[in-house]
Amino acid sequence: MTFPTPRAMGQRLGWGQLPEHVRDAIEGWLGEPVATATTMTGGFSPGLAARLVTASGRRVFAKAVCSVPNPVAPTFHRREILVASRLPAVAPTPRLLWSFDEGGEGWVVLVFEDIEGRPPAQPWVARELDRVIDALNALSADLTPSPVAASEIGDISSFGPLVGGNWIRLRFDDPPEVDPWVRRHLDRLIEAEERVLDVSRGETLLHLDLRGDNMLLTDGGVMIVDWPHARVGAAWIDAVGFAPSLSMEGGPEPEELIARLDATRATDPDHLTLGIIEIAGFFTHQGSLPPVEGLSGLREFQEAQGAVARRWIAQRTEWA
């Protein structure tokens, strides 16, 4: 396992850095001024992510972005508005209370209920992982069938990290520093990724970005936050995507995780291997690309997960 974890951080905006009209819109909905704002440092969003407390003591959590510095950030926030507004009350996720969208390249704001909680410790500890595993098993059941239609948010075929032909892109890009294991097995990896879509379809609403920093441990359980990437697909995909980050953050090896999750225990092992190969391709290819403006450390964060995933493939396939 890898630890300490590489850190990837968005360029967070403070409350006072938002344009006045955006602050006015939020306070107008709240019905009173914001007295204090505490910026949250985890995650990749380059905008506002802050716990707001009003003059009367009301607490909410707010996210806001525009197209600068990351032009795709508003798109992600718009997707999250759609998904979060449709999640069932039984799902362990914060409730979306209000949203605001200027359209185009303008500001997009989401306001959620504030959750008293914290991310899992790093390195992971067994009792916290037990709670997360229970929550993920429940979440998979609660979101099958998906409460949001694939026609509204897309199915897994629209999710590039899993079906985007990552290994063939790596061949075309031919970055100078590539794991020698990849060069030895690139033909096999490309052939495998051509089959992953056939086994990835399903009817579960998937988070598709499960990591420790998208989880909050509370007195009552575990909350799963940040849903902009959600798609509809096979239930096992979230587990395969989570496993590399868990190991990277000082948790158990991937095989131990998938042995404890209902969705992966119920899946053909060959299908899991195809999914692991393509997830590894995504992290490996993305980790080889130039830095992203506004997302410091992202490439190192991706490559660290790629290293875990490649080792996982080698163990499952015995490709030396």
pLDDT tens digit sequence for 86-140: 999 999 999 999 999 999 999 999 999 999 999 999 999 999 999 999 999 999 9
DSSP state of 86: T
Name the most confidently modeled range: 3-12, 255-264, 297-306. 255-264
Under CATH, to which class is 9-113 assigned? Answer: alpha beta
Q: Kindly give, in sequence order, each residue whose CB lies less than 8 Å from that of residue 187, ignoring residues fewer than 6 positions away.
A: none
183's tokens: 């060069």
Cα angle 287, 120, 14; round to 5: 70
DSSP state of 203: S
Question: What is the pLDDT at residue 114?
Answer: 97
Sign of CA dihedral 88, 89, 91, 93: positive
Torsion of CA 234, 238, 241, 242, to 10 degrees: -160
Residue recorded with tokens 């396939």: 317
Question: What is the pLDDT at residue 3?
Answer: 58
- The dotted CATH code for 126-317 is 3.90.1200.10
Cα angle 204, 205, 211; round to 5: 115
User: Is 66's pLDDT higher than 80?
Assistant: yes
Q: Nearest 5°: phi and psi at 299?
A: -65, -40
Per the CB < 8 A criterion, the answer to whether 63 and 113 are in contact is no
pLDDT tens digit sequence for 80-101: 999 999 999 999 999 999 999 9
DSSP state of 71: T
Question: What is the pLDDT at residue 168?
Answer: 95
Residue recorded with tokens 């119920």: 266
What predicted TM-score, i.e. pTM, was given to this entire model? 0.93
Q: Nearest 5°: phi and psi at 138?
A: -70, -40
Q: Nearest 5°: phi and psi at 174?
A: 45, 60
In whole angstroms, give the CA distance from residue 146 to residue 124: 30
Q: Kindly give, in sequence order, each residue whose CB lies less than 8 Å from that of residue 266, ignoring residues fewer than 6 positions away.
A: 235, 236
Per the CB < 8 A criterion, the answer to whether 48 and 65 are in contact is yes
In whole angstroms, give the CA distance from residue 269 to residue 29: 50
User: Is 68's pLDDT higher than 90?
Assistant: no
Q: Burial letters for 289-313: b for 16+ Cβ neighbours within 10 Å, e otherwise? A: eeebebbbebbebbbbbbbbbbbbb
Q: Where are the domains of the chain?
A: 9-113, 126-317
In whole angstroms, give the CA distance from residue 49 to residue 41: 8
pLDDT tens digit sequence for 272-311: 999 999 999 999 999 999 988 767 788 999 999 999 999 9
27's tokens: 């306070």
Q: How many CB atoms lie within 10 A of CB 119?
A: 18
Per the CB < 8 A criterion, the answer to whether 23 and 64 are in contact is no
User: Is 5's pLDDT higher than 80?
Assistant: no
Tell me the pLDDT band of 64, cut-offs 50, 70 and 90.
very high
In whole angstroms, give the CA distance from residue 135 to residue 143: 12
User: Is 1's pLDDT higher than 70?
Assistant: no
